[in-house]
């Protein structure tokens, strides 16, 4: 299935998993709000994904505090479905609950507005992520709010997964959205976001994103390129691999920091 902006991607998943496996990377699923998505269709999606791909070596599982390794799913635009409906799926007594079944998992909802924190809790989600790479764009994506969100999550046994990005510019597809452009500042914007994320001691940091060129959030290698309709930003005067190197450096820093937190 696909949302309005994409194409069905199921045919690609085996190749993605096989390639990831070669490089010791694991893959988690990000479920978009396709037409008709609700608690019942997501139940079917989860069952299909786990039955089809759950035994693959690159299928990501998160080890929770109880020592159980469970698949982790990000549910994008989760607020489009009511907390009551999600609770049918995600709370132990829901009418079609997946809790304590072979299809149980770690379900991460999208936090956009401040009020979503209570909705996410009531819905039975396991945590929340912020997705947007533009600091200040939403309550959830604003670095200054992360400490309060983390405190809420800690108090309610939820995971908080802040999302960071290297910059943001989507005016090629949303010409009216110039006010949400965020300059990369030669890597400083990315590092500021990563520092803000680590400050709240999260279990996971998510990066938005690897290759969203039309939103200016790509971190993959970039060289100068111009087409008749587009100028693609590059990383000059730095090397094409600048953001991959920054990602590696901060990932290593994150691992060391986590070891300190657990002492």
pLDDT of residue 111: 98
Domain boundaries, the chain: 10-262
What residues contact residue 49 under an 8 Å CB cut-off, 6+ apart? 29, 71, 73
pLDDT of residue 8: 83
Q: pLDDT of 48-96, one tens digit each? A: 999 999 999 999 999 988 889 999 999 999 999 999 999 999 999 999 9
The structural architecture, per CATH, of the domain 10-262 is Alpha-Beta Barrel (3.20)
Angstrom distances, CA of residue 245 to CA of 94, 132, 234: 45, 22, 15
Can you give the pTM of this predicted structure?
A: 0.95
Q: pLDDT of 18-37, one tens digit each? A: 999 999 999 999 999 999 99
Question: What stretches in the chain show pLDDT beneath 50?
Answer: none
Secondary-structure breakdown of the chain: helix, strand, coil percentages, each rounded to the nearest 5: 40, 15, 50
pLDDT of residue 9: 85
pLDDT of residue 60: 98
């Amino acid at each position: 299935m696909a949302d309005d902006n994409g194409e069905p991607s199921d045919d690609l998943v085996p190749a993605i998993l096989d390639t990831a496996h070669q490089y010791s990377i694991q893959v988690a699923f990000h479920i978009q709000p396709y037409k008709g998505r609700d608690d019942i269709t997501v139940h079917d999606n989860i069952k299909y994904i786990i039955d089809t791909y759950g035994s693959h070596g690159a299928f990501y599982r998160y080890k929770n505090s109880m020592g159980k390794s469970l698949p982790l799913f990000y549910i994008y635009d989760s607020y489009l479905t009511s907390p009551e409906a999600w609770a049918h799926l995600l709370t132990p007594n829901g009418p079609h609950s997946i809790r304590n079944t072979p299809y149980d998992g770690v379900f991460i909802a999208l936090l956009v507005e401040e009020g979503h924190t209570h909705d996410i809790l009531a819905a039975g989600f396991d945590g929340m992520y912020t997705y947007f790479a533009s600091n200040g764009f939403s309550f959830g994506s604003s670095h200054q709010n992360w400490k309060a969100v983390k405190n809420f999550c800690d108090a309610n046994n939820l995971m908080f997964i802040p999302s960071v990005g290297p910059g943001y510019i989507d005016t090629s597809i949303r010409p009216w959205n110039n006010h949400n452009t965020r300059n990369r500042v030669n890597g400083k914007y990315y590092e500021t976001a990563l520092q803000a994320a680590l400050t709240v001691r999260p279990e996971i940091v998510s990066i938005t994103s690897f290759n969203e060129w039309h939103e200016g959030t790509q971190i993959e290698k970039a060289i100068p390129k111009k087409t008749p309709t587009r100028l693609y930003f590059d990383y000059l005067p730095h090397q094409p691999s600048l953001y991959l190197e920054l990602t590696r450096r901060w990932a290593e820093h994150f691992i060391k920091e986590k070891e300190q937190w657990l002492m």
